[in-house]
């Protein structure tokens, strides 16, 4: 390590080490930008924090630290490693590490620093560290051998703003076993911060051992929230007959509500320092195929509770929500890392689809202002899907001599005009898949699938499963289409045809009536167990048939035949929560004002207009 004379500049060089753990989590670094990280963002006078200056690449850099006057700066070397950037690809990054010891309380400023690397000079963004006064020994320690003290880093945070709850155990006597139990933290999300600090101090002529543990608390509601006393249990104290139990003080925290979001900004409860990004694949995709969209919220704060909105979609593009992934961990400033929400985009026709950048409002508690995060606009290029080769189409299942008039659709199918064939099959079926029409129903689904209409293909597959749930050909076609099973009934109804189950149910109901009429006269002819078994079997058949008949009324289901927007309320101008993709199976709920509520599973509830492309199953 050397100091460049006359310029107050440090050139830090140390052993090359690969590994993320060398500098921990943090905000992702763009490939062409210099970034800074400070950990933690709050401290006390005399307790250092770590400053990392992140420089892309592995070339040496000269960082001018002379402007830092609120801290005593100690260089701690440089580390070269790999880090994932906003594009999702790993890149080489060099982290220059400095230990900053605050000289005074207040807001410690780390000004913009000049970085010379690769023949260019760049400038970092400024940062601020909240420095609290050294608490020192509490006044209540005087004359006591053991004391458990509790303190908060700030007494009146905003809802969603993280505070640090600190427990300090002072003891001037030895102890062989110590256990500290924090309060329940009702009204907060609590994360135990790693590490326990053990120090010593002298107060009132006594030497005390001090053990400190910290918890990051994020208030979930406003108003005055009480923190019950913590408790410490010490055993092995000389002269004590048994373990000693010490209670700490009870605290109260006044949580402020967030100020109203300015007009025109999206509603939000996010608090902290964050950035928003969005990306789609650069390579074009074929029509009918899915492409991934990622919306990434990164930074510090309560982003682990963030609900990222569904993307705004241009006409002709549909989306379905996939997974949400959190990367990072809790710290004194809240969750530090990133939340990634993935969507699957799908277009049925070729073209260039422009998605507006996502927007979120985030409250900055340090400056007490709302910031608008705007992600970049993304463009999805969709090419025409290759026309299916008629010679490679699977053979039709319905025999050529079928009683239904299928000559025209069979000819269209053989010529590769699959949409025309599907429409002809539909006209011949008249929405029924019973009996000999089952094979034609499957041919209709195959024709729609080859025509690129997955929604109508799913509709006919589910109609076939309702008509003949136990048929192997139906199950094979449904599995090939990647659709979940329908499970139309309880047990037998999932194996036997619908007509058979309804007829069996009617017969079982008649048998039940006859049993009730005959049980008095002939109850001594057959054993009681035989009568009981006959009644159970007849009752079970009646129950199965009754559920099969009533399920479409009590628990109706529907198939989405085209991409449909699900709204937050039964109103035409309501916010779009998500988009139902074609072939989705949904449950129908209450109706209101021309809308019906749909349940797509995984807590995905929304409202759709009753005249949209959502077809109810019989």
Whole-number pLDDT of residue 254: 95
Candidate from 118-122, 201-205, 313-317, 488-492 with smallest mean pLDDT: 488-492
Q: How far is residue 512's CA from residue 522's CA, in Å, rounded to a whole number?
A: 15
CA nearest neighbour of 327 among 335, 337, 341, 312? 337
> CA–CA separation, 598 vs 613, rounded Å?
13
Question: pLDDT (tens digit, 9 = 90+) per residue, 123-165?
Answer: 888 888 888 787 778 888 888 899 999 999 888 999 999 999 9
pLDDT > 90? residue 169: yes
Whether residue 26 has pLDDT greater than 50: no
- Greatest mean pLDDT among 180-184, 332-336, 431-435, 490-494 lies in 180-184
Confidence of residue 384 (pLDDT cuts 50, 70, 90): confident
pTM of the model: 0.57
Predicted local confidence at residue 89, as pLDDT = 60
Q: What is the per-residue pLDDT for 256?
A: 95
Strand intervals (E) in 411-541: none
* Position 488 confidence tier, pLDDT thresholds 50, 70, 90: low
Residue 503: its pLDDT value, please?
65
Apex CA 110: angle with CA 94 and CA 364, to 5°?
100
The mean per-residue pLDDT over the stretch 422-442 comes to: 81
Q: Where are the alpha helices (DSSP H) in 523-597?
A: 528-554
Amino acid 159: pLDDT? 94
Is the pLDDT reported for residue 585 higher than 90?
A: no
Q: Evaluate if residue 459 carries a pLDDT over 50.
A: yes
Beta bridge pairs of residue 2: 11
Of residues 436 and 186, the one with the higher pLDDT is: 186
Tell me the C-alpha distance between 97 and 77, whole Å.
6
Q: What is the pLDDT of residue 228?
A: 95
Q: Regarding predicted confidence, which is higher, 245 or 504?
A: 245
Average pLDDT over every residue of 223-239: 92
Q: Which whole number is the average pLDDT over 204-221?
A: 91
User: What's the pLDDT band for 190 if we cut at 50, 70, 90?
Assistant: very high
Residue 197 has pLDDT above 60, yes or no: yes
Q: What is the pLDDT of residue 29?
A: 33
Tell me what pLDDT residue 51 has.
92
Average pLDDT of the segment spanning 468-478: 80
| Average pLDDT for the chain | 80
The whole-number pLDDT of residue 319 equals: 82
The alpha-carbon radius of gyration of the chain (Å, integer) is 34
Mean pLDDT of 417-433: 83
pLDDT mean over 455-473:
82
**CA nearest neighbour of 52 among 115, 9, 5:** 115
Rounded to the nearest 10°, the torsion over CA 524, 528, 533, 535 is: 60
Lowest mean pLDDT segment, chosen from 83-92, 168-177, 228-237, 354-363: 83-92
Cα(347)–Cα(579) distance, rounded to whole angstroms? 13
The yes-or-no verdict on residue 31 having pLDDT over 50 is no
- The sign of the torsion formed by the CA atoms of 15, 20, 24, 30 equals positive
Q: Using the predicted structure, report yes or no on whether residue 14 has a pLDDT greater than 50.
A: no
Mean pLDDT of all residues in 568-574: 81
Question: What is the reported pLDDT for 517?
Answer: 65
Q: Are 22 and 81 in contact (CB under 8 A)?
A: yes
Cα dihedral across residues 39, 215, 254, 270: positive or negative: positive
């Amino acid at each position: 390590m050397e100091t460049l004379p006359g310029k107050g500049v440090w050139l830090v060089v140390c052993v090359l080490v690969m590994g993320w753990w060398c500098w921990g989590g943090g905000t992702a670094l763009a490939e062409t930008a210099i970034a800074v990280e400070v950990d933690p963002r709050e401290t006390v006078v005399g307790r250092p924090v770590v400053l990392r200056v992140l420089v892309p690449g592995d070339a040496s850099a000269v960082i001018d630290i002379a402007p830092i006057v609120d801290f005593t700066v100690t260089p701690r070397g440089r580390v070269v490693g790999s880090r994932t950037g906003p594009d999702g690809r790993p890149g080489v990054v060099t982290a220059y590490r400095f230990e900053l010891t605050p000289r005074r309380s207040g807001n410690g400023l780390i000004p913009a620093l000049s970085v010379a690397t690769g023949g260019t000079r760049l400038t970092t963004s400024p940062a601020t560290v909240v420095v609290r006064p050294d608490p020192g020994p509490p006044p209540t320690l005087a004359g006591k051998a053991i004391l458990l003290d509790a303190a908060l880093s700030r007494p009146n945070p905003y809802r969603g703003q993280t505070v640090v709850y600190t427990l300090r155990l002072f003891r001037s006597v030895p102890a062989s076993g110590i256990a500290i139990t924090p309060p329940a933290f009702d009204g907060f999300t609590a994360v135990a911060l790693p590490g326990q600090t053990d120090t010593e101090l002298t107060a009132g002529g006594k030497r005390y051992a001090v053990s400190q543990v910290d918890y990051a608390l994020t208030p979930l509601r406003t108003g005055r929230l009480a923190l019950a006393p913590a408790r410490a249990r010490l055993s092995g104290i000389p002269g004590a007959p048994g373990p000693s139990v010490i209670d700490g003080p009870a605290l109260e925290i006044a949580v402020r509500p967030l100020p109203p979001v300015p007009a025109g900004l999206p509603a939000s409860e996010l608090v902290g320092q964050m950035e928003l990004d969005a990306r789609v694949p650069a390579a074009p995709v074929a029509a009918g195929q899915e492409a991934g969209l990622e919306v990434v919220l990164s930074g510090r704060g309560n982003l682990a509770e963030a609900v990222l909105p569904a993307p705004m979609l241009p006409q002709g593009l549909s989306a379905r929500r996939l997974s949400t992934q959190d990367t990072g961990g809790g710290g004194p400033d809240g969750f530090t890392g990133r939340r990634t929400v993935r969507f699957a985009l799908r277009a049925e026709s070729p073209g260039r689809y422009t998605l507006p950048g996502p927007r979120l409002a985030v409250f900055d508690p340090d400056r007490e202002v709302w910031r608008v995060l705007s992600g970049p606009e993304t463009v999805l290029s969709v090419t025409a899907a290759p026309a299916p080769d008629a010679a490679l189409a699977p053979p039709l299942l319905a025999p050529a001599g079928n009683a239904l008039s299928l000559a025209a659709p069979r000819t269209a199918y053989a010529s590769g005009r699959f949409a025309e064939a599907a429409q002809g099959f539909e006209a011949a079926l008249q929405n029924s898949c019973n009996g000999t029409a089952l094979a034609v129903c499957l041919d209709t689904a195959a024709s729609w699938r080859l025509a690129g209409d997955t929604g109508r293909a799913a509709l006919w597959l589910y109609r076939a499963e309702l008509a003949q749930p136990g048929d192997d050909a139906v199950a094979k076609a449904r599995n090939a289409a990647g659709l979940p099973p329908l499970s139309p009934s309880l047990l037998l109804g999932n194996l036997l045809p619908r007509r058979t189950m309804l007829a069996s149910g009617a017969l079982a109901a008649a048998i039940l009536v006859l049993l009730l009429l005959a049980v008095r006269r002939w109850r001594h002819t057959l054993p009681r167990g035989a009568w009981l078994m006959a009644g159970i079997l007849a009752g079970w058949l009646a129950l199965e048939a009754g559920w099969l008949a009533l399920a479409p009324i009590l628990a109706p289901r529907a198939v989405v035949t085209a991409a449909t927007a699900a709204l937050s309320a039964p109103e035409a101008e309501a916010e779009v929560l998500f988009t139902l993709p074609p072939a989705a199976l949904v449950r129908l709920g209450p109706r209101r004002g021309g809308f019906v509520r749909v349940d797509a599973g995984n807590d995905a509830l929304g409202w759709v207009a009753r005249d949209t492309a959502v077809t109810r199953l019989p």
